[in-house]
Amino acid sequence: MLMHSVNPATGQVVQEYASIALYDALARLDDAHVAWQDWRHAPYDTRAAVLRRLAALMRKQKEALARLATLEMGKPIAQAEAEVEKCALTCEWYAENGERLLADEPIATDATRSFVRCEPIGVLLAVMPWNFPYWQAIRAAAPAILAGNAVALKHASNVPGVALAIERLWHEAGLPPALFCSLLLPADAVGALIEHDAVAAVTVTGSEAAGRAVAAAAGAALKKVVLELGGSDAFVVLANADVEHVAAQAVTARVQNNGQSCIAAKRFIVSESIAETFEAAFTKRMRALQVGDPAVRETEVGPLARPDLVRDLHAQVQASIAMGAKLACGGEPLARGACFYAPTVLTHVAPGMPVFDEETFGPVAAVIRARDQAHAITLANQSRFGLGASVWSRDAGAAEAVAARLEAGAVFVNGLVTSDARLPFGGIKASGHGRELAQDGIREFVNRKTVWIR
């Protein structure tokens, strides 16, 4: 079976890759388990050195790696380069801090000595998406490998070139080959991978549907799973916010990665007293965005990754307009290619509309007016998702009070929601469970063993 890497900006096939047979994939999992038996006892400095070399390699090859992501899934080139750099920084941070994060924790009991230690658990199956093709895979693999585990990557089928590039980079960095492998397989093979005895745990980043399927398979096999799923992040603008500044930030928050980000702001909940001014400023900036070839550095919004994503997004927009939303700009596919969608602002959005209730994966912003602060909090929490949220106000104290009442895995005050190696990342409700990054992330896939000594 062939996997096709298709440039969404042109529709042209970039390259064809042969997928592997399932029995070959299972054999690689067995090889990873065998290699892990030695790696789990490797000195910390040995493991950290691999991450440092990986960071150096990614920086050295940044232009080529970024260009590959742009070709395979349409990320604007400057953002693709920034993604590669973020991977390098995260590898360095873990190499510098991992020993502290994994250190034994003494606990006073009636024993002579008692403590909790972190031990690696084996082979981690990472089921990863296409939208941040390097970052999602590296942020899962780097702490797991540093903790002494092995990693098998089942990447999205539309980024096979990136999947193989990540595998090559780990091997060039000096990681024993069997400890990281990319499995070019269709999505329907994931269940068999999870069931295989060599797999100790699973981490998945993707849609709500993908998360439910993986979680069900992992539960049936009694294996640990971390889910980082979709989001419909609230961007709450309080009455005393600096409207022009916040409108500019709102555009960046919505169209990062062509709007295809789980933590992109999607529901813009604005105090009624400033809503008209905000809508005008926001729409003006969205309308002015440069849409085009993602390989051109001046492009601000490129194509969506696949034509079906454009069709799904347009259906959400059309259904919401039929239910009473007002189109301020955009609202249609662009003639320049099958994967381009116009930056879109919908106002007068209300609960029950698709753009309020569902995750919108593309450059579509839903503006909702809030009567007062309490209503804004209610609207923000009126979602089955709970990944991230942001609150904007000249009064940081008032914004922090609102943040404390928002149901989300992360809340940023006067800043864009982002992932940072120093802070735990993950959601609640339908956005998943478990955490990546920071100490929480590196400890998700270890055995927290209690040791009691007299």
Catalytic residues: 228, 262
Buried-state track 443-454, b at ≥16 Cβ within 10 A, e below 16: bbbbeeeeeeee
Beta strands 113-120 and 446-453, pairing class: antiparallel
Of 306, 402, 403, 322, residue with least CA distance to 355: 322
Q: How far is CA 369 from CA 162, 245, 268, in A?
A: 41, 18, 8
Question: Alpha carbon 273 to chain centroid distance?
Answer: 34
Of 329, 227, 321, residue with least CA distance to 285: 329
> Which residues 6+ apart lie within 8 Å of 264 measured at CB?
231, 233, 253, 254, 255, 256, 257
From the CB of residue 2, how many other CB atoms can be counted at a distance below 10 Å? Answer: 10
Beta strands 432-433 and 224-228, pairing class: antiparallel
DSSP 44-55: HHHHHHHHHHHH
Of 266, 219, 255, residue with least CA distance to 368: 266
Contact indicator for 309, 328 with CB cutoff of 8 Å: no
> Which residues 6+ apart lie within 8 Å of 37 measured at CB?
none
Measured CA to CA, the distance from residue 239 to residue 421 in angstroms comes to: 33
Q: How many CA atoms lie within 13 A of 347 on its CB side?
A: 16
Contact indicator for 47, 148 with CB cutoff of 8 Å: yes
Question: Alpha carbon 157 to chain centroid distance?
Answer: 17
Of 249, 369, 362, 252, residue with least CA distance to 316: 362
Q: Three-state SS for 366?
A: strand
